[in-house]
Amino acid sequence: SFGSSVPAFGTSSTTTPFKFGSSEGDQPASFSALSGDSTGASFSFLSSGSTTEAPATTSFQFASKTFEQETPAKEPLAEPVESGEENDKIVLKVPVAAYHLKTVEKNVDGKSEKKQQWQECGNGDLHVNTYQGEDGEIRSRLVLRMAKTHRLALNASLFKNMALERSHDKMVRLTSVSVEDSQQFESYLLKTKSKEDADSLFNTLTQLTV
């Protein structure tokens, strides 16, 4: 039933509540007024034939003060990861995609044959570095780390009179000593983004290996 003509949302403790119910005897559960006054007007929901009563201590209040946003705690800075190039001097840095000439086995007409093919080993900023060796001599090398993970993709030593070739306007091919076995040679193909980058790379490598 609907309450009397007295406003349902009043301030008087005798205000008749506004409610939905099947009979006058229903005892509604209520949400207290926003001010938190337990004697204030209430808004009620009733299901037919049942009575649900909220505990007398239950109330939902909104504080009058404004909420201040907490400043998030600053996370400690991550410790720098050593790259192994701390004692190197970077002579040139150029973005490349690097390919390694690999010997792979392929099935041709039912027979297993060994063939060589270029396989990408990584892409990112290639560093042409110089450093002082244990014997005091100045040496040079190529270091390439993956752009996102910084995983080491290429670490090749440069030496005098090593084979260098411009195989394309944007490509430089070289043959270096294997890091794993100094008696073995490894061939790499370095693809740059522009002809100008390839020119700079080829000229720098030529100067360091003459």
How large is the average pLDDT for residues 115-130?
A: 94
Distance between CA atoms of 5 and 23, rounded to whole angstroms? 18
Top-confidence residue, 104 or 46: 104
Buried b (16+ CB within 10 A) or exposed e, 15-30: beeebebeeeebebeb
- State yes or no: pLDDT of 163 exceeds 60: yes
Tens of pLDDT along 178-206? 767 777 889 999 999 999 999 999 999 99
Q: Is the pLDDT confidence value at 56 over 90?
A: no
Strand partners, 207: none
The confidence score (pLDDT) of residue 76 equals 55
Q: Are 39 and 13 in contact (CB under 8 A)?
A: yes
Q: What is the pLDDT of residues 127-159, one digit of tens each?
A: 999 998 888 889 999 999 998 888 999 999 999
How many Å apart are CA 32 and CA 40, to the nearest integer?
7
The CATH code for residues 89-209 is 2.30.29.30
pTM of the full predicted structure? 0.58
% pLDDT > 70, the chain = 60
Tell which wins on pLDDT, 31 or 132. Answer: 132
At residue 205, the 3 state secondary structure works out as: helix
**Dihedral, CA atoms, 99, 101, 105, 106, nearest 10 degrees?**
60
Domain boundaries, the chain: 1-67, 89-209
